[in-house]
Structure 1
Amino acid sequence: MKRRILLVAVLVLLVAIMTGCSEINQPITPESEGVWNEYFVYPLSWLLIFFAEHLQNSYGLSIIIVTIIIRTAILPLMIKQTQNSKAMQAIQPELQQLREKYSSKDQKTQQKLQQETMQLFQKQGVNPLAGCFPLLIQMPILFGFYHAIMRTFEIREHTFLWFDLGSPDPFFILPLVAGITTFIQQKVMMAGTDNQNPQMKMMLYIMPVMIVVFAVTFPAALSLYWVVGNIFTIGQTFFIKGPQVKQTQTAGGAKK
């Protein structure tokens, strides 16, 4: 879990550097140069404008539709990631036995531990790095959509429901909903995993707070994207691992 958190942090840093944070206030146009702009940001911006023009200039509805399209497109990656996570969870008892068997810290013992661990992975058909591949593919897409929302200046001039898309929600409703849905999303995704892991528990509460803080200051268009994305992820998680979620909820109720 520590490695997963570190990987996410490194990916966020690399993508931020790659995308050029200095461009966040520059409009995205067909003339925008660079691989990042031409193949990630502009196509997503074009989609937002395309759907808005066919929905009576409703950029709010356009953001919702494009968010659902993107999340649906990467759904197979999420399913693959969940399957690999289940497989890794299933062999945890055997991994723990190996760690106890080779608890000595000397180099030969640790080499033997690594060899038998790899043999266990091969025997069970588990790739410990497979869960990272979907993340590597998702991050540029999601960051690209973030840039598309922030740099499509047409969005700033429109309203949706009670808020201006280009300004923070004046009533803080969207930020709170974004934080709540982030918490629920992480909670259902943790179903069937080691809920006693201190790193996971920490992220469960830190991430929603961070999202609320960002959403309070960022344009409401971005908060809308977070809310829709979270709701979609909650639904897809119930679809992929519904029985595990129900078992976790039942177990939690029994403990109370």
Structure 2
Amino acid sequence: MDIIGTILWPIKWVIEAILVGFHTLLELLGMDPAAGLTWVLSIVGLVLIVRAALIPIFVRQIKSQRKMLEVAPQLKKIQDKYRGKKDQYSREAMQRETMEMYRKAGTSPFASCLPLLIQMPIFFSLFSVLNEAKPQPDGSFRAGVGLLSQELSEQFGSASLFGIAPLRFSIQSSLEQDPVNWTVIIIAAVMVILMTASQFITQLQIMSKNQSPEMMASPMFRQQRILLYILPLVFAFSGFAFPIGVMFYWLVSNFWTMGQQFLVIRNMPTPGSEAALAREARLAKKNRARMADDAQTLAEEQVAEIEQKKVTTQRQQPVGKNRSKKSGGGAKR
């Protein structure tokens, strides 16, 4: 086993355990254990477990982005201080002061990439598990490193989506088939388009709605704009070699990220951003509506109280003096 295999071994063990766990659950629910849909849903379950476990990291990422917003003016001062200076000493001094500023603020420009960096070993481990669950030269299947037995490995490696698109096939391997498996190519191409679009939308909503004026004026914003167009291209090119099963993980993970970012931008926007102004407007409208409801309820209660008093007054009519005397005189005779 090489160094990378040794590093990925424990991650592959955990991935196999989660996959087998969901596969067993789906089998108990009556699904065909050898069907491609069963294994696809097991991969979806893997995504849900992994992304749920990464929620604390994501919260840390949000806090780090807030701190980066706070230090943006200081970062600009350092850059202005060394603007136009190309000598080695000035570059080292600017780098040193920048890193010191990040240290004091308790943040780092790489913190925003932490969830993605953590997911990469998981992603490549799943790729390795699926790549190894394939027929050997003698036609047999090899068991995984953990709970993926030889029988389950054969099911996983032989599983096909809708019975026509093997999960272990990629666009590249499909082109090498004789005849060419166009079904896999079409499904994979659609998934690449969806992955690219979801990644672009996620980055675009961050860039357009969740940036303060200070962040938009910083060099980091320009770097994010570059990533806005580079990352989708990464999906487009990498989708050529990745199997369909791995692309399902990536696609569901992208949808999770897109929904997660939407909720964060709506409920916890960056102060001063367009999303923050929109949230303040929603809260103000909600408060006005609540105040109007409270005023209407109070008015209805007051009207009900007045009506109740009228009814009570009508029931308790006082007896006049003359009537009282007449009543008394008749009794005396």
Q: How high is the TM-score relative to the length of structure 2?
A: 0.54
The answer to whether structure 1 residue 43 and structure 2 residue 14 are counterparts is: yes
Aligned pair partner of 1:80 in 57, 60, 73: 60
Alpha-carbon RMSD across the aligned residues, in angstroms, is 3.6
Please give the per-residue CA displacement for 1:82-119, whole angstroms capped at 9, x wherever unaligned: 21022112321232124334558475897599459736
Q: Secondary structure at the match of 2:185?
A: coil
Contact 1:177 1:227 in 2 (8 A): yes
Contact 1:67 1:229 in 2 (8 A): yes
Aligned pair partner of 1:247 in 274, 284, 297: 274
Cα distance in structure 2, aligned partners of 1:60 and 1:112: 50
Structure 1 unmatched runs, 5+: 1-16, 21-33, 252-256
Larger RCO (CA within 8 A; separation ≥ 6)? 1
CA drift at 1:189: 4.2
Please give the per-residue CA displacement for 1:137-190, whole angstroms capped at 9, x wherever unaligned: 444334333333433444331133574312233322212112211222332344
Q: How high is the TM-score relative to the length of structure 1?
A: 0.68
Contact 2:44 2:249 in 1 (8 A): yes
CA drift at 1:233: 0.9
CA drift at 1:240: 2.7
Contact 2:265 2:275 in 1 (8 A): no
Equivalent positions of 1:34-183 (< 5 A) are 34-37=6-9, 39-55=10-26, 56=31, 57=33, 58-101=38-81, 103=83, 105=85, 107=89, 111=93, 114=96, 118=100, 122=104, 125-128=105-108, 131=111, 137-153=118-134, 154-161=155-162, 163-168=165-170, 169-171=184-186, 172-183=189-200
Cα distance in structure 1, aligned partners of 2:102 and 2:124: 36
AA aligned opposite 2:20: I
CA drift at 1:214: 2.4
CA drift at 1:212: 2.3
Q: Which moved more, 1:237-246 or 1:71-80?
A: 237-246
Change (3 A) 1:167 1:231: same
AA aligned opposite 1:126: G
AA aligned opposite 2:63: Q
Aligned pair partner of 2:204 in 177, 187, 205: 187
Please give the per-residue CA displacement for 1:14-66, whole angstroms capped at 9, x wherever unaligned: xxx9525xxxxxxxxxxxxx4531x1112212321221232122001000011
AA aligned opposite 1:207: L
How many residue pairs are counted as aligned between the two chains? 219
Cα distance in structure 2, aligned partners of 1:221 and 1:127: 36
The answer to whether structure 1 residue 218 and structure 2 residue 218 are counterparts is: no
Q: Which residue of 2 aligns with 1:19?
A: 4
Structure 2 unmatched runs, 5+: 135-154, 171-183, 279-333
Cα distance in structure 2, aligned partners of 1:120 and 1:175: 37
